[in-house]
Chain A
Amino acid sequence: MVVNELDTLLAASVGCQAIAFADLSTRMILVTDTRSKLPRETLDALCVQAATVLGAHGKIGLGANPSRLALLAEKTSVHLFLRASDEPDDVLCCVCAPDVNVDKLVDEATKCLNRISGG
């Protein structure tokens, strides 16, 4: 189950505070981990943010191509958005503390997305 994968990723990623799986075609969060319980408005905003940085619906924020990965680092948070390679509208959204280990998170999140996407 997708939710189990998200819970496993959250447990394995120190500094990761919430994980959601989104469908950019509908701009909806489909499922979140069971622990974080982010409010609906926050989830909606996260999904819109994923679409603007990664590019969706033929609109590209920056560059010439939709991105496979987007990292948005600010003073109080790091947001990582990962797009599934075979389902470009499937996106994993990770909300993290600013000191998260980015390399480890990307590695774990990629494996998680591959399992979800291939399942």
Chain B
Amino acid sequence: MPEPYQRRLIDELGTQLMSDMIALAQKLNALAAHDDVLEDGARVVSQSGVPAPLTAFLAVVDETVLERRLDFAAGDVVVSVIAAGRRLRGLIAVSPAAGEHIDLFGKTLSRQEPAMLDAAFALLTDIFTGAARLTVRSLPAEPFGSGGERGISASGLAEIWQIDISETPLPPMSRFLRVNETAFSAVLHVSAGDILATYGDIAGLQSIWDTQVDAFLRAQESLPNHQDGPKLICLEGALDDGSTAALALAGDDVALMVYDPAKLGALHASWRSIFQ
């Protein structure tokens, strides 16, 4: 029979192992659930601020197990970092060069160097703030720091930088509505027959929902070229006052929007990046 202290040790190890297994299972589920959008081989991890670029940055670090160089691009600026074991080891470079942050590059991040962590936070915040899109490209690792320095875990950085990386990703339709909220003056979002959210003056949209949507969808389904799956239908000048209306469908979700016609192309691009 094990001694009491041995039993406690076994219990603690078992609890730790279980906790690691749960974390691993959550990561695998998250990876399996990724509906990745690729742009020239780079993965789009944040679009129109959803999720916040720094949150997306840490989430990518958090899912990086094997050592990799990660190139994050925000507009024309690329930040290259080394990550491994769900930890950020350090920053390699920023392109175009950011001279005033030169002391950061090539050095392993450490909790013992709070000034370096503050500088890294300032640099990333400066680059990512207002980024319409953040992409990441995963590349083979390159020599970095000394072998014994592991950097800081993504969850540790989230704690230090006060960022919530456990934020549950929005469902696709909610993400579409959130990302494009500046294009909409009114929104009626229905899920499985229940009104989930409304915004703006929805009188015209409510009338469409109450009296037209069912018949319209039946008419669409009866067409020989009907396709199942998500749809975005934009109608210019359809409303009483001549304004434009759009209908987005995905699974049990139906969203009716009054949108700015000048944003038609942007709306379609956003819909495509989320639903295709």
The answer to whether B229 and A48 touch across the interface, beta carbons within 8 angstroms, is no
Give the interface residue-count category, chain B. 20 to 34
Contact status of A49 and B223, CB under 8 A, knowing A61-B216, A67-B238: yes
Q: How far is the CA of A106 from the CA of B213 in the complex (A)?
A: 26
Contact status of A49 and B247, CB under 8 A, knowing A102-B264, A103-B265: no
For A52, the chain B residues whose CB sits under 8 A away are: 216, 219-220, 223
Tell yes or no: A62 within 8 A of B by CB: yes
Give the interface residue-count category, chain A. 35 or more
The answer to whether B276 and A46 touch across the interface, beta carbons within 8 angstroms, is no
Tell yes or no: B235 within 8 A of A by CB: yes
CB proximity to B under 8 Å, residues A70-103: 70-78, 98-99, 101-103
Tell yes or no: B117 within 8 A of A by CB: no
Tell yes or no: A64 within 8 A of B by CB: yes
Q: Which residue of A lies closest to B236 (CB)?
A: A69
For B236, the chain A residues whose CB sits under 8 A away are: 67-70
Tell yes or no: A114 within 8 A of B by CB: no
**Which of the 9-residue segments B61-69, B148-156, B267-275 touches chain A?**
B267-275
Q: Which residue of A lies closest to B240 (CB)?
A: A64
Q: How far is the CA of A45 from the CA of B235 in the complex (A)?
A: 19
The answer to whether B265 and A102 touch across the interface, beta carbons within 8 angstroms, is yes
Tell yes or no: A63 within 8 A of B by CB: yes
Residues of chain A touching chain B, judged by Cβ–Cβ distance below 8 Å, are: 41-42, 45-46, 48-49, 52-54, 60-78, 98-99, 101-104, 106
